[in-house]
Amino acid sequence: MDTLPLAASGDAAAPLSPGQLRELYSLMVAVRHLDISAIAWQRQGIIPGYAPELGQEAAQVGSGYAVDTTRDFVFPTYREMGVARTMGVDMVAYMSTHKATWHGGLYDPMESRLAPIQAVVAGSVPHAVGWAHGQTLDKKDGGPLGVAMTYFGDGASSQGDVHEAMNFAAVMKAPVVFFVQNNGWAISVPTKRQVAGGSVAARAAGYGIPALQIDGDDVEAVVEATRRAFAHARSGNGPVLIEAMTYRRGPHSTSDDPGRYRSLNEERDGAGADPLERFRKRLLADGIADEAFFAEALAAAKAEEEQIRTGIQALGPRPGTEMFDLVFQETTPALQAQAANWREESEHV
């Protein structure tokens, strides 16, 4: 499915260079290794919970690679570690949320251009549209717009927030890219049982929004589609929806047991080719990379993971009194007394 009328132009049309292709592979390896390690950290008690993304590396790295961090803004869910890593976010600061030491992450959203991690299903979608609409209100010279990209899954696409956001974005021609990672499952419910018609991209037509349904396991296709969508939105043509068809190869979260709703054989049959191995074979076949490069990429990923794990373990607990400083704009006398008592007790611990 491709209903995007604007032909790719400029950077959107430029083919990826061999160096960029190797960079994409290195990013995918780093994300894959960190993702698998994060599950182990949860089992070891280093972090209390994590939402794996095994099998979605191409969708996340490819889309994140298209972001211009000098002017665009990304609004993630709780499963966009690969996007954060691709955008250059400090991963210790990012993983602090999974460590449960800070709400939304210790990184600076304004500097990184990545909004705080959103745990509410589809909660980041209206935020992205609001930011994008602000770009059209602020732009006075007719130049290119900053673009918002918001992530959500096939399950979240059934939330009312998504439909309201898409309608508003279409009416206001907000420069926003709705990036749907259709990984086949809304926790334990398959897509076919909760998305009427079976396609999220098809819904975009109801709002007059052009849509792209792409192979989300092909990192090059993801980069190309996301660049096209950004070019369309940046030129003032309004929103675009991308549905990246991929597969969640593991549990919804580290507290989920996928064996309760699908068998290992069903998982293997549904997952298809591993996006990382698929890309590796393509680079080898085209002479873009060799075994020495792949070994170097894996070694770098392992070293990075060790550094991140050490940094996460070094994170201390946050003082509980911060809720009184940051949650309430104006505190009541009762809250002020509670805060004073808490601080006094903390000093004697």
Q: Which one of 98, 234, 252, 280 is the catalytic residue?
A: 252
Q: Which one of 113, 248, 280, 309 is the catalytic residue?
A: 248
Contacts of 42 (CB under 8 A, 6+ apart): 48, 49, 50, 98, 254
Residue 210: strand, helix, or coil: coil
DSSP structure class, residue 341: H
CA distances from 315 to 40, 116, 301 (A): 18, 18, 21
CA distances from 241 to 4, 87, 184, 267, 274 (A): 9, 21, 17, 27, 25
Q: Which one of 261, 278, 282, 318 is the catalytic residue?
A: 261
Q: Is 261 noted as a catalytic residue in this protein?
A: yes
Query: Which tokens go with 335?
Result: 């809250």
Contacts of 202 (CB under 8 A, 6+ apart): 1, 211
CA distance 292 to 206: 50
CA distance 261 to 216: 23
Q: Which residues are catalytic?
A: 248, 252, 261
